Amino acid sequence: MILVDSSVWIDLFAGKQTKATNYMLNAIEESQDLCICGLIITEVLQGIRSDKEYEKVKSILSELIYLPISKNTFIRSASIYRSIRKNGKTIRSPIDCIIASICLEHEVKLLHNDKDFNAISQYTSLQFVE
């Protein structure tokens, strides 16, 4: 199962062709299990200006496997953020630490286009789609 980060969805809906968007399109064609979480839904939908496009994207995202977030996910997220900061790096968005925690909790790989996840993977067992 693959958790697709908002960075990939945003690129896809903007018509950008990247390694990650190409991978996702192939995964869809091969009927691989793609999943999403509430934070990614929010990040993707909040940037859509058109009501028609908003409804279309909301419908697409609603069809994906939904990964819930537990209290332990948030505690692990804070620990990830703190351990990385202790090592002299700062993650730009704590949301990325939460998304990483969700992946770890549900044992799924992450498909992303966000350099902060590379830093997170140096200090955790976060795995990416290659």
Residue-wise pLDDT for 20-49, tens only, equals 999 999 999 999 999 999 999 999 999 899
Return the pLDDT at 113: 92
For residue 129, being part of any structural domain is answered with no
The segments of the chain whose pLDDT lies below 50 read: none
CB distance 111 to 129 below 8 Å = yes
CB distance 10 to 47 below 8 Å = yes
For residue 128, being part of any structural domain is answered with no
For residue 77, being part of any structural domain is answered with yes
Return the pLDDT at 38: 96
Please tell me what DSSP assigns to residue 115: H
Q: Which among 11, 32, 45 has a CA at the least distance from the CA of 129? A: 32
Return the pLDDT at 11: 94
For residue 130, being part of any structural domain is answered with no
Name the domain count of the chain: 1
pTM: 0.92
For residue 20, being part of any structural domain is answered with yes
Structural domain for 16, as ranges: 2-123
For residue 34, being part of any structural domain is answered with yes
Return the pLDDT at 130: 74
Q: Which tokens go with 113?
A: 């286009």
CATH of the domain at 31: 3.40.50.1010
